[in-house]
Structure 1
């Protein structure tokens, strides 16, 4: 018998001993980080709401209770009983019964009403029918991504259970080494923006944090080195993804092409957005005649291997590592990732990308932790003079630009990241039109923006408190304003918009590196009455940065009759309105560190150009007397 089997046997005995005599335990299994307890008495379990909480506290494990399949009632009998318990205004749209696990997935417009106060309705459901309810939200805006992910995971349920059981056994295996040390190896995004990737290693465990591309470049993380995949992809125990932007997520599916078969830990919205963005990444590569680095099947593998975690949940992801996600304030589901290593040995936090102040879309980044010795900190706007305009001033300037352009009969074209900045701008525009600050006019959303917005509305609990309350309680979803139009008619519709009256166009890609924005430049770029407005970071080497720096003759797809690359003369004005970035500026980054509790002993400044990381590193050293570093790629830092 393996050590894990012995451990499960002992846990079963301990749980049985803790429970009332009339509640049986038929099996105990690990599924990922959770301990799953199967019982023939689910209704009695549900009658005592404190039982699971007490067991989890005593055993220091996350516990899920499921009914033994032998005692399940017929789904046809259970369905009307479940619906009789749930308030009608919850808007139940689907019930899906899974006999293998004894779970019933309830999809509803208002999940909170299905859950009930402190889970009271869920317990009542189990008391009535014995099934374990799991609740998901019906997207207010239909989302093909959310639907496809849910359907795919439903189809792959059996395979996914095997993955979770294997992962659970790996997490809870016996430790093999008595040594104690922690190392971080930098595989990308050091003294540069993009291709974020790190290895956290201990004598027991190797964890990859992020694996992204580099905008405007073919450079990829140094995955081939021995510290990374040089000894095989399955030498990794886990992958942690801080958020879904491609400079952090694009090459996650590549790991499965190389043979990785382990878990990916991220938040649920990040999982869905990763699927959306990586599939689009492959599509764009194909359209531009480049060979995609992996097939779409690898994206599905990544989704199947993802174990979603919620903010604040302390989760075992290896025998010697606990992971906790906290809101990073950057994009939907973005997470500051806190690693507690060993039995109090060392604590490391990776900021990912952060925004420290509240925005219209998100609460500001969390920087309060039980312990942190080392912080790996993004430095995108870490330069000495990288101060962004106050958000209110930025909004007023954007409104001013829109009014000026409207008055002269032009259109405003805004290159925007599909995830985050687009939704932020949508909220500004919706309020400005509702309050009469700008004239009512169509706001055309092109590329993935509409789909990304649909995903935002599926997970309102990740949005800023007051915005979430508007969507939850007031039936006043600003993303459903009638001015918003999803461009789904291709070139013909774009031409109609270009030929029509004043309008605002939000289009991907945000750095003008391809996608539908190139079409809008062809249609609207020659119009001197119109304006191109940058509201997000333009990385070095991107066309967006070149236009921002004054280029007015730009390459476009195709060649003329002489075989020369086509170019386009931009006659539209170009504006940059700072303050809408999802990144903290220099002051925000310093404030994040200054108010961090506890303040870290060491800071590694990463994810910024050379000047930015060195400026920030120097300032933190001088102002707060902490050890700081501006590492290069392929450096390894040993702690302890």
Structure 2
């Protein structure tokens, strides 16, 4: 069994990995790089010849894990795609949205290769989606491999992937969270009989304070909302449409029910609403907190989005309102980015970051900016003087570095492959594991296309 990293660079980006055993080929994830555009945003599928993959397995429906799936399926036209049912249904919604975004980018930014796939193609692809339940092993067609999905606790439907072959085993975590969120419950991962572990390293540079508690972070967020409300301002919470939107909706409901924030409108974006419909659809059929709770019906603060005439319209500003708008990193052209440009010059307002922001993203620039500084949110927008209050809260959907390290040290794999992390993040893990795992575990940081023999 051999492993190849199909990402174009060793960092968080277009996640995709190839397993090869004899003539058998299996692909794990097929993402698109959130900071690149056009063909540069795709994985490099070079080592995977046309129509040779036996299976494609998907961990979860975030863009950096599914964004290039239709392109891969075009190159592998007869290959089944395995995932959990919620992941498959959300994947369809997210990719249809990608077509709309790419079509707009083609016109606005003259990216001539966009869209990379079409709505019709996505509808046809669904015939190759095969859904599998958590913790139920299944055969991969035309191979001697067995696979199973295990709840990753990251977003609805997210799963780590176990691959077994002739007594050997590989476990790929995908994105993982080892503690309960508001909706998502902590990951339920295997710890025994894992020879090779492929692990995410997203938060390797973040050291969580010793006195941290999720409850205290939520109460701190509530205090910010109360202060902003009293000042007649509004709160912008940049969120990802998938996962974080739904977590924040339920968190606001909790805080209001507990009397920690006042009665005030909560507004979410269009894609966030579409994904929330799916969260509500699976409320009784997924492993979660608040089973049976329907966000769109049971969150009293939620204000239904107004129908906009003429397609893409601006979100209107109103005082004493919570705006949970995507994207979480305030990527150029997204709703949160455009709204922030009309929002952060008001000293009554506040921006609350509740998840990861890439160091090169507009969200990160805003997060580290000083009051009075001019912030450039997008190339086509003039710099805006920052007057609003900016706060950050550790409510990430990714496990902390210590939690991931603890898991790895519990598993004690023969080989550890570190992926989905920047150089500095992986360096922290390497230093820790050099002390805790010693010579019993071979620690690897797979370079692009580098063949790594697993067993």
| TM norm. shorter chain > 0.5 | yes
Match of 2:171 in 1: 349
Residue 162 of structure 1 aligns with which residue?
none
Does the alignment pair 1:191 with 2:10? yes
Aligned to 1:336: 160
Change (3 A) 1:447 1:496: closer
> SS at the partner of 2:427?
helix
Alignment correspondent of 2:425: 612
Residue 239 of structure 1 is aligned with which of 41, 44, 56? 56
Relative distance call for 1:496 and 1:283 in structure 2 (3 A) is closer
Map 1:583-598; keep pairs closer than 5 Å: 583-596=398-411
Cα distance per residue 1:487-526 (max 9 Å; x no partner): 243489987841x331000111111112222332244233
Counterpart-to-counterpart distance in 2, 1:437 and 1:184: 50
Say whether 1:412 aligns with 2:235.
yes
Residue-by-residue CA offset, 1:43-99 (whole Å, 9 max, x unaligned): xxxxxxxxxxxxxxxxxxxxxxxxxxxxxxxxxxxxxxxxxxxxxxxxxxxxxxxxx
Match of 2:196? Answer: 374
Q: Secondary structure at the match of 2:303?
A: strand
CA contact (8 A) 2:30 2:67 kept: yes
Count of residues paired in the alignment: 438
Partners of 1:556 and 1:491 in 2: how far apart?
A: 25
Q: What are the equivalent positions in structure 2 for 1:70-469 lying under 5 Å apart? A: 182-188=1-7, 191-218=10-37, 219-225=40-46, 227-228=47-48, 231-232=49-50, 234-289=51-106, 290=111, 291-318=114-141, 319-341=143-165, 343-344=166-167, 346-368=168-190, 371-383=193-205, 385=207, 389-461=212-284, 463-468=286-291
The within-5 A match list for 1:13-52 is none
Task: Provide the rounded CA distance (Å) in 2 between the counterparts of 1:374 and 1:348.
Answer: 5
- Give the Cα separation in 2 of the matches to 1:430 and 1:587: 30
Query: Cα deviation per residue 1:416-456 (whole Å; 9 max; x = unaligned)?
Result: 00111111111111011112111010000113111111111
Distance (whole Å) between structure 2 residues aligned to residue 266 and residue 238 of structure 1: 11
TM-score normalised according to structure 2 size: 0.90
C-alpha spacing 1:572/1:321, structure 2 compared with 1 (3 Å): farther
Distance 1:588 1:555 in 2: 33
Counterpart CA distance in 1 for 2:71 and 2:144 is: 26
2:25–2:54 CA contact under 8 A, matched in 1:
yes
Deviations 1:277-326 (A, max 9, x none): 11112211222233222222232233221000110110001321101000
2:370 is equivalent to residue 548 of structure 1: no
**Residues 4 and 446, structure 2, Cα contact 8 Å, conserved in 1:** no
2-structure distance, mates of 1:549, 1:478:
34
1:570, CA displacement in angstroms?
Answer: 4.1
Relative to structure 1, is the Cα distance of residues 496 and 309 closer, same or farther in structure 2, using a 3 angstrom cutoff?
closer
CA offsets per residue over residues 188-240 of structure 1, 9 Å max, x none? 17631111010011014101111111112233354342x22xx21x1111100
Q: Is the 8 A contact 1:387 1:585 kept in 2?
A: no
Structure-1 residue corresponding to 2:356 = 537
> For residue 511 of structure 1, what is the aligned residue in structure 2?
329
SS in 2 for 1:288: helix
Q: Could you tell which deviates more after superposition, 260-269 or 185-194?
A: 185-194
* Aligned partners of 1:284 and 1:515 also within 8 Å: no
Residues 567-623 of structure 1 show CA distances to partners (whole Å, capped at 9, x for unaligned) of: 141434252423211100111111222334xx3222111101001012112312311
Q: How far is the alpha carbon of 1:632 from its aligned partner?
A: 2.0
| Higher relative contact order, chain-length normalized (CA < 8 Å, sep 6+) | 2
Aligned to 2:319: 501
More helix by share: 1
Distance 1:441 1:538, change over 3 A: same
| Cα distance in 2, alignment partners of residues 491 and 381 from structure 1 | 41
Structure 2 segments unaligned to the other structure (5+ residues): none
- Is the Cα–Cα contact under 8 Å of residues 453 and 479 in structure 1 kept in the other structure? no
- RMSD (Å) for aligned C-alpha atoms: 2.4
Seen in structure 2, the aligned counterparts of structure 1 residues 546 and 424 have a Cα distance that, compared at 3 Å, is same
Q: In 2, are the aligned partners of 1:447 and 1:516 still within 8 Å (CA)? A: no
Correspondence 1:579 to 2:400: no
Give the secondary-structure state (helix, strand or coil) at the position aligned to 2:5: strand
Aligned counterparts of 1:495 and 1:608: Cα–Cα separation in 2: 34
Query: Deviation of residue 464 (structure 1)?
Result: 4.9
